[in-house]
Structure 1
Amino acid sequence: MNSFKQTALLLFVLSLFCSACMQDTEEKKTGKTRIIKGLYSYGPEIKSFTDCEEGREYWVADSAGTLELAYSKFNFEKPYEPVYIEAECHAIKSDSLVVSADFDSTLVVTRLMKITQAIPDGPCNP
């Protein structure tokens, strides 16, 4: 009977520990979410985003599945034509085994808010 109590107590402590870890992970995810504004280019080999304010270039992963679809609706004659986007995303470290390794970080787009061929005046369109 004593071993049953010990096992139950151990399982209870482990479940509390796992619950705390999961909560911490969720807080970190929401803390990393941000709104990006800049130029997105898409083609057969490259999916990139240039932050006009920082001038940094990122690999893009489209987790929502809407960014690439919206880009393809412009029917560009050639790939890699830049468009202006505003999107919600979070950054992750780029995978060292694929093309994205050429970029420091990968932006995972979770929600596309705006996409347009008209690049606004400012740092994106000097």
Structure 2
Amino acid sequence: MKISTSFTLMPLFLALTGCQISTTQPSNNRNTTLAEISMHKGIYISGHEVSSYQPCEEALTYWVTATPASDTLNQLSIRLSESRNAPYQPIYIESEIHPVDRNSHPAFIDGFAADYDAVIEITNVTVQLTDIPSHCQQAKRTH
């Protein structure tokens, strides 16, 4: 019984292509997407009809969906707004951020989230500061 060479190499090919490991490291290039990096530094703002995140030194602004981490940030924002007697107080955070498909919920298409560059969820907040560090200022939106 003769076995063809292509038939014997097929399992090896499938094993190698199924186990590729990416060694690409995120760069400081502005074209880097949220999906390519896990830890982010930026400014979170919460208030009446607002739940947003803006990465440090970038003009993009993201709508933040409700998660346990963002619920905790909302409570901090409320306390901060009450103590400063002013709404929409920024909070500097370092956290994991994950993109959310806009088509997964109607509010992302026709609600408040529709006015933002993308929709994200915030998880695993490792740093939260009520004073914004000088290295993380809000960039002006160009549109």
Shorter-chain TM-score tier: 0.5 to 0.7
1:44-101 deviation per Cα after TM superposition (whole angstroms, max 9, x unaligned): 1111111123321111123123221232232342211212111212012331021100
Q: Which of 53, 63, 72 matches 2:78?
A: 72
More strand by share: 1
Distance 1:110 1:85, change over 3 A: same
- Map of 1:113 onto structure 2: 126
Matching residue's letter, 1:120: P
CA distance in structure 2 between the aligned counterparts of 1:107 and 1:66, rounded to whole angstroms: 16
CA distance in structure 1 between the aligned counterparts of 2:99 and 2:137, rounded to whole angstroms: 21
- Map of 1:57 onto structure 2: 61
State the Cα RMSD in Å: 2.4
Where in structure 1 are there 5+ consecutive unaligned residues?
A: 1-30
Is 1:98 the equivalent of 2:111?
yes
CA distance in structure 2 between the aligned counterparts of 1:125 and 1:91, rounded to whole angstroms: 20
Where in structure 2 are there 5+ consecutive unaligned residues?
A: 1-33, 103-107
Equivalent residue of 1:69, what SS?
helix
CA distance in structure 1 between the aligned counterparts of 2:66 and 2:126, rounded to whole angstroms: 13
Is 1:89 the equivalent of 2:97?
yes
CA distance in structure 1 between the aligned counterparts of 2:38 and 2:115, rounded to whole angstroms: 22
CA distance in structure 2 between the aligned counterparts of 1:35 and 1:42, rounded to whole angstroms: 20
- The correspondence of residues 41-56 of structure 1 with structure 2, limited to 5 A, is 41-56=45-60
Distance 1:125 1:54, change over 3 A: closer
What TM-score do the two structures reach when normalised by structure 2? 0.57
* Percent of pairs with identical residues: 29
Distance 1:63 1:125, change over 3 A: closer
CA distance in structure 1 between the aligned counterparts of 2:117 and 2:134, rounded to whole angstroms: 27
State the 4+ residue runs in structure 1 displaced beyond 6 angstroms: none
